[in-house]
Amino acid sequence: MSSSTSSSGSPITLTALSSGSATITASVTIDGELYNASCNVTINEKPVRELSSLSLSGNYKTTFELGDSFSSEGLVVTAKYTFGEDKVLSADEYTLTAPDMSSTGNKNVNISYTEGGITKTASYNINIIESVVHVESVSLNKTSLELQVGELVRLEATVLPTNAINKEVVWSSSDESIATVTFMGLVSAKSVGEVTITVTTVDGGLKATCAIKVSETKPSSQGCGGNIVATSVILSTLSVLGIGLLLIKRKFSK
């Protein structure tokens, strides 16, 4: 350590030359009397900036289908050091070992980076699954309808291919004040107007629509305040039930 002295009371500048300990002493004579003051100083070795580890982050893909090509797009590799700021590495600065994509299962992706004679590694897992059959199309049994207020009709959706892994659909109405639709595709006409019923596949978001025009309910002209067709169906059903009960009664009365 080197030092400079001053008798004028100005600050003294110290220069560290090597590691170790030293005592700095200041002396002054006042009215013929000597006064001393000292300070112990410790000099440490200058820390060395060295590569300490790698960290992985980012929105990178970890699930692949059999037959896919491996991609590390979105992967962020960061070099960390014993002191100082971290450094985000570019793809050409580190080495990435691509996994075997020819079979299903969990695979390891290895990454290494060397700096200053020091090599650090990191890794992450991917999962290769069997090829998934995705939805390719969806259609409705009706693309347009005319309904009267109060009428109900069920729309049927066909999702292809038939072996698609997820054939779930979501139903929606462009105006629920005119017509509503249930999760089963049952449409209920609420008021006069025009509305579009849409079915959307969960897998792929494919859509099919049915345009519906709702008009006022026409007055019934069938008499007895009911529907002849509906009444006929009900009477036929009751008739069948009556015959069935009669046969059962006869069987047990033998």
Residue 149 maps to which CATH number?
A: 2.60.40.1080
Give the domain-ending residue among 129, 150, 179. Answer: 129
Residue 113 maps to which CATH number?
A: 2.60.40.3630
Look-up of token digits 């500048």? 13
The two most distant CA atoms of the chain are separated, in Å, by 146
| Separation between Cα atoms, residue 157 and residue 211, nearest integer Å | 14
Give the domain-ending residue among 113, 129, 145. Answer: 129
Query: 168 with 200, same domain?
Result: yes
Query: 61 with 91, same domain?
Result: yes
Query: 58 with 108, same domain?
Result: yes
* Residue from 105, 97, 95 nearest 64 by CA: 105
| Secondary structure class of 243 (helix, strand, coil) | helix
Can you give the residue range of the structural domain that contains 76?
Answer: 51-129
Query: What pLDDT, on the 0 to 100 scale, is given for residue 51?
Result: 97
Query: 39 with 60, same domain?
Result: no
The answer to whether the beta carbons of residues 196 and 209 sit under 8 Å apart is: yes
- Structural domain tally of the chain? 3
Could you tell me the mean pLDDT of each successive run of 10 residues in the chain, 254 residues long? 51 75 83 84 81 97 94 97 94 96 96 97 96 94 97 97 94 98 97 98 97 91 45 43 47 47
Residue 168 lies in a domain: yes
Give the domain-ending residue among 129, 163, 190. Answer: 129
Residue 141 lies in a domain: yes
Query: 197 with 144, same domain?
Result: yes
Residue 229 lies in a domain: no
Type of residue numbered 128: I
